[in-house]
Structure 1
């Protein structure tokens, strides 16, 4: 039976996820900008009409706007909140106008200010993961070798058909070593109906078998579907326990988990682009609200873990080299470093306008996709 949280929980979850994450992202830009001597004219959470705000003693307007789907810091010299440079204004600026202007700052300063937003989101993810591993613990099998030993097969198991036998121990998937059952599951589930090289150990010898995964659609307790890959093996029973870690180990594990998540994001995007996955798997603000409310209904641990996932997604998306996003700015700065001069103002302005149009189209698409693929919150 599908369990649906009350409607208010979707709203609360959405605000508790995006509100703090957007604020921290923009604070990253703002604080590094202040540190490097660049003046911020506006700090906004949300877009559109200002609902409430105040101006501080530095002349920065702090405000909350009507559309809670993002935010921005508008630095001195920006043409608009997307930091599109005004070429004519930059070239004709007086000495007074250049003072504290973002676009007149040294290249490395501009790059650090832009990079600070995504870095803030990455740090949030690392802090959540590390805190979880210290407070709750890292999942470890009491007998990892036994957990990786095949005890049985599903009906019509592709692994069994490929020649893998009961008693074999999985040691690698696609050449990547695995240390626990979760590693095998994560490595396989991303690739439905694809040929994977599964390396096993049998009698002291290692053998690699090509196994074509099963494509299976599953649903969680809220009825959200997902398509995963399976190779049809059943692991030997092995108890898993959560072992609290020290701060150093926790940070290392947090980095490792974050890298795995980014790899999953990149793989998912590649599969959507190549047609291996449906574009309906792309999510927008409505899906974020739905999943936020569902995770909040499961308790704070599940919800905070979801916040870490969204925070890393925000960093990843913002670092894409699309003009108008942080990654687009950094791409122009890289070009400027190589050319030893900025990209021409007309070409830069056209690129930024095209990039912003692309972002708006993508937002409209994923929102429409949400409306089509989801019934009204279950």
Structure 2
């Protein structure tokens, strides 16, 4: 049931994205002849006055279809309500609306979670620093550190029960590239000592390939007003959005160190299933995080994504005429093949390396 809940969340996020495109088009009078949730064989469909609505077998996908791309459409090629015949700005609104819908949805989900769970009041700190998911190729994993471990001391220095423990440990790691450090960890009430040598990162600092979080639990209180909920939700949305952008920036500038942290469908569903199993409200956190990631990925100027289409529109606006269709089709088809290849690679990789990498999501909102 938890796996189905996670898949349902992903299906909702895709539905929100496609609804953004659909509403933006219909509100401008642009013709839309298909709206589909999922891909593969059609399970259910309904023919409206203008649009065919369908649910397909595999829910992790979807599309909005326009008569422009339908060779069987009887709409005249010069119809002003065809998407391709609209001004650049109208088309840009339709293409970007999916991304905007995902961002708005993420913010509303964060507000809903605060309304249900309450406002974090304070953190109750315990000694040490909690280890978040460890990549199997990382220095930390190879040294024996596992997700859920609590690091109690570094180089003989105890990590206190305060908000200073995580910065202290981070500093020790970053200031000892290519130098061995000693860690005392707690795992299932058993203490042990491990030694590892941080690698030299691109920025000249030591890295071990692990994320850290305070060893703390949060207490909550009831919100004073809806305005407080929306204000705190805005702050959390900003933190998540900036953090996600930073993560994509590191993937570009420091690909070797961060590529292993990229997750595909298997790992994403796995994370959502674990959260649903622990506490169904955590699925709201999951939905917000994935929705923001989906928005940022789609706005990247890559072929076959919304950002790629926006890039073509920008070029069209600058040169005063569209990029030739054969060039657009060639770029989009190449990009689609590459994206499908990446998706298949991630699925295979994660299916053969299903390690526990989930607890950290629960702590993002503490």
Q: TM over 0.5, yes or no?
A: yes
Q: Which residue of 2 aligns with 1:267?
A: 246
- Name the count of aligned residue pairs: 309
SS in structure 2 of the partner of residue 51 of structure 1: strand
Shift of 1:39: 1.0
Shift of 1:142: 8.7
Does residue 22 in structure 1 map to residue 38 in structure 2?
no
**Quick check: 2:152–2:185 contact (8 Å CA) kept in 1?**
no
Q: Which residue of 2 aligns with 1:291?
A: 271
Q: TM-score under structure 2 normalisation? A: 0.70
Q: Which residue of 2 aligns with 1:228?
A: 210
**Quick check: 1:284–1:366 contact (8 Å CA) kept in 2?**
yes
**Quick check: 1:46–1:68 contact (8 Å CA) kept in 2?**
yes
Change (3 A) 1:295 1:218: farther
* Match of residue 308, structure 1, among 282, 288, 308: 288
**Quick check: 1:321–1:330 contact (8 Å CA) kept in 2?**
yes
Does residue 9 in structure 1 map to residue 9 in structure 2?
no
In 1, the alpha carbon distance for the partners of 2:41 and 2:314 equals: 34
**Quick check: 2:92–2:310 contact (8 Å CA) kept in 1?**
yes
Change (3 A) 1:188 1:26: farther
In 2, the alpha carbon distance for the partners of 1:13 and 1:192 equals: 40
**Quick check: 1:193–1:215 contact (8 Å CA) kept in 2?**
no
Q: Which residue of 1 aligns with 2:112?
A: 131
In 2, the alpha carbon distance for the partners of 1:269 and 1:192 equals: 25
**Quick check: 2:153–2:183 contact (8 Å CA) kept in 1?**
no
* Structure 1 residue ranges without an equivalent (≥5): 1-7, 81-88, 145-152, 170-180, 197-211, 221-225
**Quick check: 1:77–1:101 contact (8 Å CA) kept in 2?**
yes
In 1, the alpha carbon distance for the partners of 2:186 and 2:278 equals: 19
Q: Which residue of 1 aligns with 2:237?
A: 258
**Deviation readout 1:234-277 (Å, 9 max, x if unpaired):** 99xx9854351533343332232222223333333344452453
In 1, the alpha carbon distance for the partners of 2:229 and 2:356 equals: 39
Change (3 A) 1:217 1:44: farther
In 1, the alpha carbon distance for the partners of 2:350 and 2:46 equals: 35
Q: Which residue of 2 aligns with 1:67?
A: 58
**Deviation readout 1:195-224 (Å, 9 max, x if unpaired):** 59xxxxxxxxxxxxxxx999999999xxxx
* Match of residue 43, structure 2, among 48, 51, 63: 51
Q: Which residue of 1 aligns with 2:96?
A: 115
**Cα RMSD (Å) of the superposition?**
4.3
Shift of 1:365: 1.7
SS in structure 1 of the partner of residue 248 of structure 2: helix
**Quick check: 1:213–1:229 contact (8 Å CA) kept in 2?**
no
**Deviation readout 1:269-321 (Å, 9 max, x if unpaired):** 34445245353422212112222221111122112221111111211211111
**Quick check: 1:137–1:245 contact (8 Å CA) kept in 2?**
no
- How do 1:103-182 residues align onto structure 2 when only pairs under 5 Å count? 103-141=84-122, 154-156=152-154, 181=163
In 2, the alpha carbon distance for the partners of 1:358 and 1:36 equals: 33
Q: Which residue of 1 aligns with 2:82?
A: 101
Q: Which residue of 1 aligns with 2:191?
A: none
